[in-house]
Structure 1
């Protein structure tokens, strides 16, 4: 039996990583967000903000990394695997930034099927920007809409996770996994 691949997505600063860490603490297999890792690797190569300086290359590296996570989840023996952002997030961000992309992005989104998508809504009370997250809260709200639309356009019905404590949000996700 293949692992059920569950994406947790949402705009920047919505609490995805905190929920992933909570689920991991509870013994679930989780795959972490990779965009900070891509940014830090580019900085080691002298590119301060790959996302801003070479957006298509950044997106290609993200797609490659998220596709690798998908394949890792596919090969897993676990029942459930939670993934902090899916391949569709890459296309949503590119659409938001009006970045042109070619067929491999679209075909990867069509080929990679997740069993369920949970969407974390923008939440101003917990939003913080930092060295890798430089969007304003208003931009984060727009990005969230692009993410939601992208998943819907690829046939998903993202379930919105209500605001609350990390524990409450993790409980909500676990309670609403389609069996």
Structure 2
């Protein structure tokens, strides 16, 4: 069954592109925002000494990403006001492709039946702000590769992409609000 929630607007991109900071700005302005499931999984797994981590058991991590992403999508009422999502289900497709997971067809089906707003906002790689941390261990070059795969994943799922310009946080939030679909 096809489930469309055009009030869920995805903001995505490779790691370290400032998207979470932009989401915090949108939240400060009164918009509802959904946290990134990938970081939540990493924090939980590290705390529980689990291995479903992108640097340990990539398949288990991918499985949890898919489950949590779909659960997050389903719990948001399509009648509710615009809600911004820090990543979406196609991010799991991107990750699956990067690790060459055998789950790609299962993830593509989840992407096909759970549809966000038609325009997805993509934050491009930005060397000047890129930093690693306890949950983000990729090099800048890995971040660029992830961005390119992310772009393809969302295009393959039929989304229109709006690239967020490399500007200050408030201007990036303004850009998103000025270019919302519909």
Query: What TM-score comes out, normalization by structure 2 length?
Result: 0.91
Match of 1:27 among 30, 41, 56: 30
Match of 1:111 among 113, 117, 121: 113
Corresponding residue for residue 169 of structure 1: 172
1:159 paired to 2:162:
yes
Corresponding residue for residue 129 of structure 1: 132
| Partner deviation per Cα, 1:140-165 (whole Å, 9 max, x = no partner) | 00100000001111111211010011
Alignment of 1:28-177 (within 5 A): 28-47=31-50, 50-73=53-76, 75=77, 77-101=79-103, 103-115=105-117, 116-177=119-180
Cα distance change, pair 3–101 in 1 and its aligned pair in 2 (3 A): closer
Corresponding residue for residue 17 of structure 2: 14
Which consecutive unaligned segments of at least 5 residues does structure 1 have? none
Q: CA deviation at 1:76?
A: 5.2
Cα distance change, pair 70–49 in 1 and its aligned pair in 2 (3 A): closer
Which consecutive unaligned segments of at least 5 residues does structure 2 have? none
Runs of 4+ in structure 1 displaced over 4 angstroms?
Answer: none
For residues 39 and 73 of structure 2, the distance between their equivalents in structure 1, rounded to whole angstroms, comes to 18
Q: How many residues of Structure 1 are paired with residues of Structure 2 in the alignment?
A: 177
Please give the secondary structure, in 1, of the residue aligned with 2:55: helix
Cα distance change, pair 68–48 in 1 and its aligned pair in 2 (3 A): closer
Structure 2 contact 108–157 (Cα < 8 Å) conserved: no
Structure 1 contact 9–118 (Cα < 8 Å) conserved: yes
| Partner deviation per Cα, 1:28-80 (whole Å, 9 max, x = no partner) | 0110112121112112332367222211111111111111111122x154221
Structure 2 contact 6–115 (Cα < 8 Å) conserved: no
